[in-house]
């Protein structure tokens, strides 16, 4: 759809979580280019303020900064309070983080926190804004899945499981919300140049840019239910999908093993870090 059609359906405000960096940052920039005002959400207020200043100067659109940790109930409550009464028509739930390494060496406190952010926070946002969009009569939701969400992935077992949850949630919501004129899209990128590798203690080769992920996802919204940004991600995904899930897990385990083999020399499970 063109810019005016996009604004008509999803304007005047969009919520973008994880907007301080990576994919969320790219979504914020591209939505501002399409003329939408933004509610930019992340933990780092200084990064959000920089984003808001740049977008206002470049695009002339408004940016409301919400510095909140969405893994905590207080952060989710702050987002709900701040957006109450606003004409929001689009949610991009991009906040999340990941871990890598052997599951039995996991830091359960960190893993629980990742589960809260990657899964429960996404669920609560979908219910909150989905109901608002239904009352509004139109809207859109973009959830960030991953190519690791299509099967179990050794060396990233829990992170992959959280992305499988997001993928399944998006697929079901798309059917439920279509009669209410709400578009739902699951965007499932592979490796992204977003700081993910360093923060999840992984070494990656070829990766797609956050701008490509955002542009591909926005162009697909309202036309399809899932999108796989980047040629390499498409090639890997579609070559694996015909295979039995067990074999796919073995192959992805080999891939992830190559990305995490440096951890053997480092002595254990990495500290979980946020990304996007």
- Cβ contacts of 191 within 8 Å, gap of 6 or more: 197, 204, 205, 206, 207, 208, 232, 233
Cα dihedral value 60, 95, 210, 87, nearest 10: -30
Q: How far apart are CA 12 and CA 14, in angstroms?
A: 7
CA angle 236, 117, 263 (to 5 degrees): 55
Q: Omega into 113 within 30° of 0, i.e. cis?
A: no
Which residues are tagged catalytic?
Answer: 159, 163
Pick from 67, 8, 75: nearest CA to 35? 8
Q: How far is CA 90 from CA 125, 148, 218, in A?
A: 11, 25, 11
Q: How far apart are CA 36 and CA 239, in angstroms?
A: 37
């Amino acid at each position: 759809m063109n810019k005016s059609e996009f604004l008509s359906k999803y304007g005047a405000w969009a919520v973008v979580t994880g907007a301080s960096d990576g994919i969320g940052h790219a979504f914020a920039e591209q939505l501002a280019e399409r003329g939408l005002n933004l509610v930019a959400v992340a933990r780092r207020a200084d990064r959000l303020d920089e984003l808001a200043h740049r977008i206002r100067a470049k695009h002339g659109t408004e940016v409301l900064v919400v510095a909140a940790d969405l893994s905590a109930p207080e952060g989710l409550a702050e987002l709900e309070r701040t957006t109450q009464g606003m004409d929001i028509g689009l949610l991009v739930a991009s906040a999340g983080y990941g871990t890598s390494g052997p599951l039995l060496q996991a830091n359960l406190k960190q893993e629980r926190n990742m589960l809260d952010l990657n899964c429960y926070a996404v669920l609560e946002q979908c219910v909150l804004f989905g109901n608002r969009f239904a009352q509004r009569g139109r809207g859109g939701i973009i959830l960030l899945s991953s190519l690791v969400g299509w099967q179990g992935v050794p060396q990233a077992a829990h992170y992959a499981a959280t992305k499988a949850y997001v993928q399944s949630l998006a697929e079901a919501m798309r059917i439920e919300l279509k009669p209410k004129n709400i578009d739902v899209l699951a965007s499932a990128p592979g490796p992204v140049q977003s700081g993910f590798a360093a923060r999840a203690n992984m070494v990656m080769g070829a990766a797609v840019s956050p701008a490509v992920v955002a542009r591909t996802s926005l162009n697909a919204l309202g036309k399809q239910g899932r999108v796989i940004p980047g040629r390499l991600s498409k090639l890997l995904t579609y070559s694996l999908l015909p295979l039995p899930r067990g074999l796919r897990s073995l192959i992805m385990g080999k891939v992830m093993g190559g990305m995490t083999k440096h951890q053997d020399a480092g002595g254990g499970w990495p500290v979980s870090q946020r990304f996007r």
